[in-house]
Amino acid sequence: MTQPKLLAFAGSTRKGSLNEAMLRVAVAGAQAEGADVTHVTLADYPMPLFNQDLEAEQGEPDGAARLKTLFAAADGLLIACPEYNGSITPLLKNTLDWVSRKDAGGPGGRYYKGKTAGLISASAGRLGGMRGLVHVRQILTNLGAVVIPEQLAVFGADKLFGDDGVPEDEARAEQLRDVGGALARTTAKLIG
Ligand SMILES: Cc1cc2nc3c(=O)[nH]c(=O)nc-3n(C[C@H](O)[C@H](O)[C@H](O)COP(=O)(O)O)c2cc1C
Protein backbone atom coordinates (compact mmCIF):
# COMPACT_ATOMS: atom_id res chain seq x y z
CA MET A 1 0.00 0.00 0.00
CA THR A 2 1.26 3.50 -0.84
CA GLN A 3 2.23 5.66 2.13
CA PRO A 4 -0.37 8.44 2.48
CA LYS A 5 0.93 12.00 2.52
CA LEU A 6 -0.92 14.36 4.84
CA LEU A 7 -0.68 18.11 5.25
CA ALA A 8 -1.50 19.29 8.80
CA PHE A 9 -2.19 22.81 9.96
CA ALA A 10 -4.28 24.73 12.50
CA GLY A 11 -6.60 27.66 11.88
CA SER A 12 -4.87 29.65 14.60
CA THR A 13 -1.41 31.14 14.77
CA ARG A 14 -1.87 32.32 18.34
CA LYS A 15 1.01 31.77 20.72
CA GLY A 16 -0.16 28.94 22.96
CA SER A 17 -2.89 27.91 20.51
CA LEU A 18 -4.94 25.06 21.96
CA ASN A 19 -5.70 23.84 18.45
CA GLU A 20 -2.03 23.70 17.53
CA ALA A 21 -1.36 21.68 20.70
CA MET A 22 -4.18 19.23 19.86
CA LEU A 23 -3.00 18.97 16.29
CA ARG A 24 0.41 17.74 17.44
CA VAL A 25 -1.29 14.81 19.16
CA ALA A 26 -3.48 13.98 16.15
CA VAL A 27 -0.40 14.18 13.90
CA ALA A 28 1.33 11.62 16.11
CA GLY A 29 -1.68 9.33 15.64
CA ALA A 30 -1.47 9.68 11.86
CA GLN A 31 2.25 8.98 11.89
CA ALA A 32 1.73 5.90 14.06
CA GLU A 33 -0.55 4.58 11.29
CA GLY A 34 2.16 5.11 8.70
CA ALA A 35 1.34 8.53 7.26
CA ASP A 36 4.03 10.91 6.05
CA VAL A 37 2.86 14.16 7.67
CA THR A 38 3.97 17.66 6.75
CA HIS A 39 2.93 19.80 9.72
CA VAL A 40 3.06 23.54 9.07
CA THR A 41 1.93 26.72 10.78
CA LEU A 42 -0.06 29.21 8.74
CA ALA A 43 2.15 31.94 10.25
CA ASP A 44 4.71 30.88 7.65
CA TYR A 45 2.18 31.40 4.82
CA PRO A 46 0.91 34.95 5.27
CA MET A 47 -1.91 36.05 2.97
CA PRO A 48 -3.80 39.34 2.88
CA LEU A 49 -7.56 39.29 3.34
CA PHE A 50 -8.88 37.95 0.03
CA ASN A 51 -10.13 40.59 -2.38
CA GLN A 52 -10.74 39.92 -6.06
CA ASP A 53 -9.38 43.33 -7.08
CA LEU A 54 -6.17 42.63 -5.19
CA GLU A 55 -5.94 39.23 -6.86
CA ALA A 56 -6.52 40.75 -10.31
CA GLU A 57 -3.92 43.47 -9.75
CA GLN A 58 -1.23 41.59 -7.86
CA GLY A 59 -1.95 37.90 -8.42
CA GLU A 60 -1.78 35.45 -5.59
CA PRO A 61 0.48 36.15 -2.63
CA ASP A 62 3.66 34.17 -2.24
CA GLY A 63 2.23 32.50 0.88
CA ALA A 64 -0.72 31.12 -1.09
CA ALA A 65 1.49 29.90 -3.93
CA ARG A 66 3.80 28.09 -1.51
CA LEU A 67 0.92 26.56 0.44
CA LYS A 68 -0.70 25.38 -2.80
CA THR A 69 2.48 23.45 -3.55
CA LEU A 70 2.04 21.61 -0.25
CA PHE A 71 -1.66 21.00 -0.95
CA ALA A 72 -0.79 19.60 -4.36
CA ALA A 73 1.68 17.14 -2.83
CA ALA A 74 -0.76 15.95 -0.15
CA ASP A 75 -3.29 13.13 -0.36
CA GLY A 76 -5.15 14.41 2.68
CA LEU A 77 -5.52 17.34 5.06
CA LEU A 78 -5.51 17.22 8.84
CA ILE A 79 -6.92 20.50 10.12
CA ALA A 80 -7.39 21.82 13.65
CA CYS A 81 -10.24 24.32 13.51
CA PRO A 82 -10.76 26.89 16.27
CA GLU A 83 -14.31 28.18 16.59
CA TYR A 84 -15.13 31.88 16.50
CA ASN A 85 -18.76 32.80 17.13
CA GLY A 86 -19.93 29.33 16.28
CA SER A 87 -18.04 29.14 13.00
CA ILE A 88 -14.74 29.01 11.13
CA THR A 89 -11.96 31.48 12.01
CA PRO A 90 -11.17 34.23 9.51
CA LEU A 91 -7.61 32.91 9.18
CA LEU A 92 -8.77 29.45 8.14
CA LYS A 93 -11.47 30.73 5.78
CA ASN A 94 -9.08 33.20 4.16
CA THR A 95 -6.50 30.46 3.69
CA LEU A 96 -9.02 28.03 2.19
CA ASP A 97 -10.28 30.78 -0.12
CA TRP A 98 -6.85 31.69 -1.49
CA VAL A 99 -5.98 28.03 -2.02
CA SER A 100 -9.32 27.50 -3.81
CA ARG A 101 -8.28 29.89 -6.58
CA LYS A 102 -6.89 28.53 -9.81
CA ASP A 103 -3.31 29.60 -10.37
CA ALA A 104 -4.44 32.10 -13.02
CA GLY A 105 -7.44 33.26 -10.94
CA GLY A 106 -11.09 32.27 -11.19
CA PRO A 107 -13.04 29.67 -9.25
CA GLY A 108 -10.88 26.65 -8.58
CA GLY A 109 -11.11 23.60 -6.40
CA ARG A 110 -8.43 21.36 -7.82
CA TYR A 111 -6.33 21.67 -4.70
CA TYR A 112 -9.09 19.93 -2.74
CA LYS A 113 -10.78 17.51 -5.11
CA GLY A 114 -10.17 13.87 -4.31
CA LYS A 115 -8.27 14.61 -1.11
CA THR A 116 -9.36 13.36 2.27
CA ALA A 117 -9.72 15.66 5.24
CA GLY A 118 -9.83 15.01 8.98
CA LEU A 119 -11.03 17.69 11.38
CA ILE A 120 -10.46 18.40 15.04
CA SER A 121 -11.23 21.43 17.15
CA ALA A 122 -10.39 22.62 20.62
CA SER A 123 -11.86 25.19 22.92
CA ALA A 124 -11.93 25.97 26.59
CA GLY A 125 -15.72 26.05 26.25
CA ARG A 126 -18.21 23.24 26.72
CA LEU A 127 -18.82 22.44 23.05
CA GLY A 128 -15.14 22.27 22.10
CA GLY A 129 -15.71 24.11 18.81
CA MET A 130 -18.14 21.51 17.48
CA ARG A 131 -20.39 24.08 15.78
CA GLY A 132 -17.50 25.42 13.73
CA LEU A 133 -16.57 21.93 12.56
CA VAL A 134 -19.98 21.64 10.86
CA HIS A 135 -19.14 24.68 8.75
CA VAL A 136 -15.58 23.63 7.91
CA ARG A 137 -16.87 20.18 6.91
CA GLN A 138 -19.42 21.77 4.59
CA ILE A 139 -16.89 24.12 2.98
CA LEU A 140 -14.39 21.33 2.31
CA THR A 141 -17.12 19.06 0.97
CA ASN A 142 -18.24 21.82 -1.40
CA LEU A 143 -14.64 22.06 -2.58
CA GLY A 144 -14.58 18.33 -3.41
CA ALA A 145 -12.70 16.90 -0.44
CA VAL A 146 -13.81 13.69 1.24
CA VAL A 147 -14.16 14.64 4.90
CA ILE A 148 -13.95 11.53 7.06
CA PRO A 149 -16.70 10.98 9.64
CA GLU A 150 -14.20 10.64 12.50
CA GLN A 151 -13.68 14.01 14.16
CA LEU A 152 -13.16 15.35 17.66
CA ALA A 153 -14.19 18.57 19.38
CA VAL A 154 -12.11 18.83 22.54
CA PHE A 155 -13.96 20.74 25.27
CA GLY A 156 -12.13 22.12 28.30
CA ALA A 157 -9.02 22.05 26.16
CA ASP A 158 -7.19 24.57 28.32
CA LYS A 159 -7.05 21.91 31.04
CA LEU A 160 -5.78 19.08 28.84
CA PHE A 161 -2.07 19.83 28.82
CA GLY A 162 0.46 20.15 31.60
CA ASP A 163 3.09 22.90 31.56
CA ASP A 164 5.43 20.52 29.70
CA GLY A 165 2.98 20.37 26.75
CA VAL A 166 2.23 16.70 27.40
CA PRO A 167 -1.47 15.75 27.50
CA GLU A 168 -2.58 14.94 31.04
CA ASP A 169 -5.83 13.31 29.96
CA GLU A 170 -4.69 10.15 28.21
CA ALA A 171 -8.21 9.15 27.15
CA ARG A 172 -8.69 12.42 25.25
CA ALA A 173 -5.19 12.20 23.79
CA GLU A 174 -6.04 8.74 22.49
CA GLN A 175 -9.23 10.06 20.89
CA LEU A 176 -7.17 12.72 19.14
CA ARG A 177 -4.64 10.17 17.94
CA ASP A 178 -7.55 8.05 16.70
CA VAL A 179 -8.72 10.85 14.38
CA GLY A 180 -5.23 11.16 12.91
CA GLY A 181 -5.01 7.39 12.61
CA ALA A 182 -8.40 7.13 10.92
CA LEU A 183 -7.39 9.78 8.40
CA ALA A 184 -4.16 7.92 7.63
CA ARG A 185 -5.97 4.61 7.13
CA THR A 186 -8.81 6.02 5.01
CA THR A 187 -6.39 7.97 2.85
CA ALA A 188 -4.19 4.91 2.35
CA LYS A 189 -7.24 2.92 1.20
CA LEU A 190 -8.35 5.62 -1.21
CA ILE A 191 -4.97 6.08 -2.87
CA GLY A 192 -4.51 2.30 -3.03
C1 LIG B 1 -13.84 36.35 18.14
C2 LIG B 1 -13.86 35.12 18.98
C3 LIG B 1 -14.99 34.33 19.01
C4 LIG B 1 -15.02 33.14 19.74
N5 LIG B 1 -16.11 32.35 19.68
C6 LIG B 1 -16.08 31.13 20.28
C7 LIG B 1 -17.16 30.23 20.10
O8 LIG B 1 -18.12 30.49 19.41
N9 LIG B 1 -17.08 29.02 20.71
C10 LIG B 1 -15.98 28.66 21.47
O11 LIG B 1 -15.96 27.54 21.98
N12 LIG B 1 -14.95 29.50 21.65
C13 LIG B 1 -14.98 30.73 21.06
N14 LIG B 1 -13.92 31.58 21.20
C15 LIG B 1 -12.80 31.18 22.06
C16 LIG B 1 -11.79 30.40 21.26
O17 LIG B 1 -12.29 29.12 20.99
C18 LIG B 1 -10.52 30.30 22.06
O19 LIG B 1 -9.92 31.57 22.11
C20 LIG B 1 -9.57 29.27 21.50
O21 LIG B 1 -8.51 29.10 22.42
C22 LIG B 1 -9.06 29.70 20.14
O23 LIG B 1 -8.26 28.69 19.58
P24 LIG B 1 -6.66 28.69 19.73
O25 LIG B 1 -6.34 28.46 21.18
O26 LIG B 1 -6.22 27.55 18.89
O27 LIG B 1 -6.14 30.00 19.25
C28 LIG B 1 -13.89 32.77 20.50
C29 LIG B 1 -12.74 33.58 20.47
C30 LIG B 1 -12.72 34.73 19.72
C31 LIG B 1 -11.45 35.56 19.68
Give 179's pLDDT tier (boundaries 50, 70, 90): very high
Per-residue model confidence (pLDDT) at position 105: 53
pLDDT at 106 over 60: no
Q: pLDDT tens-digit profile of 80-90? A: 999 999 999 99
Q: Does 70 score more than 60 pLDDT? A: yes
Q: SS3 sequence, 73-139? A: HCCEEEEECCEECCEECHHHHHHHHHHHECCCCCECCCCCCCCEEEEEEECCCCCCCHHHHHHHHHH
Domains of the chain: 5-191 (3.40.50.360)
Q: Which residue has the higher pLDDT, 102 or 121?
A: 121
**pLDDT at residue number 102:** 84
Percent of the chain topping pLDDT 90: 88
Cβ of residue 13 lying under 6 Å from some atom of ligand 1: no
Averaged pLDDT score across all residues of the chain: 94
Q: How many angstroms is it from 82 CA to the middle of ligand 1? A: 6
Q: What is the mean pLDDT of residues 104-127?
A: 85
Tell whether ligand 1 has an atom less than 6 A from the beta carbon of residue 125: yes
